[in-house]
Chains A and B, each alone.
Chain A
Amino acid sequence: MAFNYDPYIRSGKLPHIWCPGCTFGIVFKSLLRAVDSMQIPKDDIALVSGIGCASRLPGYVDWNTLHTAHGRAIPFATGLKMARPDKKVLVVSGDGDATAIGGNHFIHACRRNIDITVIVLNNFIYGMTGGQHSPTTPVGHMATTMPFGNVDPTFNIPALAKGAGATWVGRGTAYHVPALDKLIVGAVEHKGLSVLEIINGCPTTHGRRNKFRTPTDMLLWMKETALPVSAFEKFPAEKTVGKFPIGVLYKGEAKEYSETYFAMVEHLQKKQEGRGD
């Protein structure tokens, strides 16, 4: 039976702002299916974003939604989570939003291992402002501020997240949709800071300047270059050149921040009562 998106979509707010061929719509629907499968009541979940095309996603979802400033979604989400640790807090962010202007917040949220799900829609470019290079634009690619080919080295988002202390790290693509639904469930279910990078295509400001003639070409590129992490790890190095792994890339154990904080509060309050004053 076809999935019914209506209960989750703020239909009055459509049409969305995304271009034809933009892959963000695919991710949007995957997110709704994933969260629906977890049966989280709409009142108990917040979706927070920064600024950019990716960050427009919350406006279309009938949850508690917060569209903040460029790069700043994670601090706002941290405030929400620490105010209401019993609720689910998700962040959706662009590659520039999460790793350039918001990079400091990103690594510190990972370090704290606070129970927030950070979903980074990596389209390798600053989409909203028209195609400037981002910290994930591949070297050699054309961008309006790198008109002779990008020479600025890139971040590997999952490696960055793992290195900074995130306890769940995954990567999916807008092409591998059934797998993406599962990855989103895994990221949201995980207690602690989870980072899910989702490879996306921006045909308007990146694809057409970089030999992807059509939006479909970008999806086919994902199909051809992504390898399930199990296969990626088994293959000899020369066979994985130019490929990237998808799936759950890392799972670690560490104390979750809000739980640790409120355990301290409880302990202090008990001690105080014990003193009887």
Chain B
Amino acid sequence: MGTLKLLQGNEACAEGALYAGCTFFAGYPITPSTEVAEYLARRLPLIGGVILQMEDEIASVGAIIGASLAGKKAMTATSGPGFSLKQENIGFGMICEVPIVVIDVMRGGPSTGVPTGPSQSDIMQCKWGTHGDHPVICLTPAYVQEIFSETVRAFNLAERYRTPVFVAYDEIVGHMRERIEIPDKGVLPVENRRRPTCSPSEYMPFDDTQGDVPPIADFFSGYRQHITGLNHAADGFPVNASPRIHTDELRLLRKVEGNRKDIIRYETVMLEDAEIVVFGYGVSGRSGKSAVELARAEGIKAGLFRPLTIWPFPAEEVAELASRVKAIIVPELSLGQIVLEVERCAKGRCEVEGIFRVDGDPITPDQILEKIKEVG
């Protein structure tokens, strides 16, 4: 039995980071994510870790990338406008394959929008926020317990695939308090990046003959290396006109897309005989679950698909559902973002209906139930 605690979602995120071995946090205060930093500010110094309040969000990502290159597990947390600012250096993390974790507690936008209101409208920014082609891993917990465990998983995936990983959840679960169990050390797996076993003179930071995820050496460990945000060759130095760019970009995509089975996680409820499926993540997934239970109580064959990994998108799973159900309902706190992905994967084989809300309140189970009846 681990430790039972009554925690807010943001605090559970901080606990998850500590469990995963995070010793370095840099951030810039912004509602509704600030509690992550505040919690870590009380805890990290006690374990010899570093907490830095930088001058802005751009600097925060720069600092955690620097720390990660020096071998630390590092994280930042933000919301809305701050997430936009972080995109530039997140792109650096992607092309240079630096393990970091970025928490985005979603609030309404664009711009300052609704700082205290919940939202799910950054989900496409997670996918496409930084320029250029790049793989994205983004996890979408819906419960305080899940924020804890998915933050641990985010660190593991960052280390395993040598890439930035997002955890995106809405203000509601970020600020909600629930009882959670923090497992004892060793109960949840905690992974560390693969480091080189060759000699420093043989080491190349992007050596694709070592597999799609080449080992990563720490700065100051004797493996002197050059890291650049320019497209680079296996040895880390710039290349600008070479088949290497193409093959390396494909490798970056492949290391995520090619490992979908390992990365994609979801919860399903009564999908076996479902005719109408609610596809919802985060707080909308919670409402979806209640709606499905209400519908079943009325004899309607409803089911739930609640993704815990939104990127890479569970495309095959949605395609399979679309081939055998009547309709997929997509509740989301935006004007319609992830519904586009669902439509893309459903390919017209079933009806896809969105429920969108951006007025600062969550989508209720009743709203979803009504839609279930409408399409049923």
Residues of A within 8 A of B (CB): 10, 13, 42-44, 46, 48, 51, 58-59, 62-69, 72, 74-84, 87, 104-105, 108, 261, 264-265, 268-269, 272
Contact = CB atoms under 8 A, between A and B. Distances in A.
Contacts of B69: 66, 76, 79-80
Interface stretch (B11-19, B120-128, B221-229, B319-327): B221-229
B46 A79 contact: no
Which are the 7 A-B pairs with shortest beta-carbon distances? Answer: A79-B66, A75-B62, A83-B70, A79-B63, A75-B59, A67-B228, A108-B55
B245 interface: no
B220 A87 contact: yes
B181 interface: no
Contacts, number: 132
B55 A82 contact: no
B99 to A, nearest CB: 13
A72 B58 contact: yes
B228 A63 contact: no
A64 B62 contact: no
A79 B226 CA distance: 17
27 contacts: A64-B225, A66-B66, A66-B226, A66-B228, A68-B62, A68-B89, A69-B62, A69-B88, A72-B92, A75-B59, A75-B62, A75-B63, A75-B89, A77-B66, A78-B59, A79-B26, A79-B63, A79-B66, A79-B70, A80-B66, A80-B69, A82-B52, A83-B24, A83-B72, A105-B58, A105-B59, A269-B46
A110 to B, nearest CB: 11
Contacts of B92: 68-69, 72
A87 B221 CA distance: 11
Contact of A268 (B46, B74, B226): B46
Chain B contact surface mostly: mixed
Contact of B62 (A43, A46, A67, A72): A72
A276 B92 CA distance: 44
Contacts of B342: none
A83 B66 contact: yes
A227 to B, nearest CB: 35
B228 A46 contact: no
B246 to A, nearest CB: 22
Given A67-B228, A68-B229, A72-B62, A84 B89 contact: no
Contacts of B72: 83
Contacts of A84: 70, 219-220
Contacts of B88: 69, 72
B67 interface: yes
Given A69-B92, A104-B56, A82 B228 contact: no
Interface in B93-134: none
B28 to A, nearest CB: 11
Interface residues of B, number: 42
A117 to B, nearest CB: 15
Nearest to B54: A75
A13 B24 contact: no
A78 B227 contact: no
Contacts of B238: 59
A209 B257 CA distance: 51
A64 B200 CA distance: 12
B224 A64 contact: yes
Given A67-B230, A79-B64, A80-B69, A261 B50 contact: yes
Contacts of B60: 75
A64 B220 contact: yes
A83 B46 contact: no
B237 interface: yes
A62 B223 CA distance: 11
A69 B89 CA distance: 7
B89 A72 contact: yes
A51 B54 CA distance: 21
A265 B52 CA distance: 13
Nearest to B72: A83
A272 B229 contact: no
A91 to B, nearest CB: 11
Contact of A272 (B46, B63, B65, B74): B46
Given A79-B67, A83-B67, A264 B52 contact: no
Contacts of B54: 75, 78, 108
Given A59-B228, A68-B92, A78-B59, 13 more contacts: A46-B220, A65-B224, A77-B66, A78-B66, A79-B26, A80-B67, A82-B67, A83-B50, A83-B66, A87-B220, A265-B45, A265-B48, A269-B48
Given A67-B230, A69-B92, A76 B225 contact: no
Nearest to A71: B58
A134 to B, nearest CB: 20
